[in-house]
Structure 1
């Protein structure tokens, strides 16, 4: 199975980018306190951002220091849960978020869903007891080949069923855990489609056989391996009926693309409580159209991204900015408060990168949208 560990160079680049984004947001947030009491004092009782549904958290391992790039410490995870509990967040099953997205039904403000990718043993051994003690739901996206083969560090089917009996739910993370958007050498597009359809179908069938009603099936839920997808893969996922998730950051709103839904990835280096609070308090930037949609780029030139929004208040749009590889990108407004374009100056690095766009909402919270870019064959 392809490793979930990023290469050192890619990890360093991503680390510098995320550190710059988080530092900028934390500095701005210091000017407007994020305390819940202040936020509620500035809002009408019961008022919520109608475009925002939930923030979805994505973990891999918990308390496994051998993999800091895909693990959070036990203490960090405990602090995350305590923050959500102490601030009265609404913790819901991932399927509830998907249902609200499909029906455009509002959810309570500060709704969060918790997910884990791959089905590592530490989810059961460390995270599950903490979540079960609060009776909080969560979802595990299972890469079935690792479970079937008994790979080191993975759960087995009996353990997954035991977790299901305590309320855990499951989704499809593919059979192979390969970068699904990549065609093999000399592979035609129909051959690629047949191979990926077989991969996802085999995983879904195995999950249904082993986990039954604990598997999301109506609709089936997919987490792309490495959070990587292409326009062609999105089309195939749609044909197969999936609602699909990536690993790009941002809150989910009523306008979010159900074939590339955002989740906030958590790892040891970037799991501090200040940054965590910013993310779970975020609001969905109301993007109704974007060009381009396909994150896979043939050229190394940083793309020009154009986003069309439900109109933002003038004060909010005036403070909108995007971040990329340490750059702060100011928007070129094509229609004030509605449509803007940004482009980075630095060439795309090999692997994954992102434009991360944020704007303060005036109450200490941030609108947040992230666009993934992929250069090369992925899987890093």
Structure 2
């Protein structure tokens, strides 16, 4: 059983949700009537990141049934993963952060939070523009090093260690050439597929290929298995299928992979249109949790998404939509309006209804001390 020397967290952790930590900018949140009941019934919560607000969010349900959105300040949080060991890994600015839940099953913080994810290991990588992140079966962190066009892991000496690069990238240099962004881990805990905006091998070359230059690459064979995509993001293996977000068209769908020995590439099959630039994808049961952003900047303009929104007579969203994969429609949602317009990643946190996280630089990180109370059988002398 763990021991908490500090029973209360600071008031900042329970601040009103009408304002973000970053610059006290106004943000409005709204949600579907059934979302709280659904999260409670499924016994899970949703984590998501926004590099725009510099916040890591935890969406959960309070003991009284109300929805709670917990926020922790992080530096440019992006890729997010919850691994089988109950830890959260996060790519955040110039850091890779590992967070661990320090509570026992019966413990609560402020009689509210049933999990408290504390930053326990911080790897200083420098600014790599790290995107998606995962943990392999041996516990090794793997992340998309977008600035250097490769998959990488942390190093005890250097900023990173190269694990793999696309075959069309001629050198590991500090040039975002193809905008490698997404990582799908397979059921065996190995990197399986990655997404990139293009196959460009010149600095910033991907910006000229946003509309139809997107690709999916098989990491094990280095073969491009699907092309013609528009800014694909968030590849995920789920129930034997490769799912991706074709962000430039606002579509969630699957990639039908080519069979062994076939030369032709697979193809993207759209399943659901969501009104936004899509980034961040997680699954539970027959549900997909999809992150949506508003395409405000020039890099998002001129895509097929613009016309699809017009055809649907819809404005772009920022938030999360819960998609029923059988019915192929949105059944619940969280919408964010105001100063926060972009999300990056989404993760499902099973087994916890109302978790919280702690910012590495906060007073709570300094004041919350936990340890195992057992006494060792022998001591050093």
TM-score by length of 1: 0.29
Q: Higher Cα Rg: structure 1 or 2?
A: 2
Give the structure with the larger helix fraction. Answer: 1
TM-score by length of 2: 0.29
Give the structure with the larger strand fraction. Answer: 2
